Amino acid sequence: MILESIYSILFNDAGINAAVSGRIYPNMALLGADFPLIVFSNPSSAPIPTKDNASVIDIHDIQVDIYSATALQAGNISALIRALLDRYTGVVEGHNIQSIQLRGIQTSFEPEQDLYRIILSFSLRECL
């Protein structure tokens, strides 16, 4: 799954890992986890059809959520992730990532948890 590659990219970046003390989770955070933390997911994927053969490129939607007690900290972590992932290319965990492109940024405040949240949306092209 492409999420293995995203985890590897985020976890192996010293700045991001230090900023969240290793709290980087696929799909959902651990119950009771400390903040700040990162949750990443792959809400959808689509093959790119070819005329005569099976798809050789898949497009994955990647969502990265940053949760933090302060807006400044969430923004700083968001900037680190954006700098790392936007226009990323390479082979990671056996996945040939042709490119990752930032598609959008959303910010919000979660009053129930007293947390700031930034959502980064990316499009990832994977060569099969």
* Buried-state track 86-119, b at ≥16 Cβ within 10 A, e below 16: eebeeebeebebeebebeeeeeeeeeeeebbbbe
Please state the domain extents for the chain.
2-48+56-127
Distance CA 78, CA 118 (A): 7
For domain 2-48+56-127, give the CATH number: 3.30.2000.30
pLDDT score, position 39? 98
Return the SS3 of 53: coil
**pLDDT tens-place values along the chain, 128 residues long:** 999 999 999 999 999 999 999 999 999 999 999 999 999 999 999 999 888 888 899 999 999 999 999 999 999 999 999 999 999 999 999 999 999 999 999 999 999 999 999 999 999 999 99
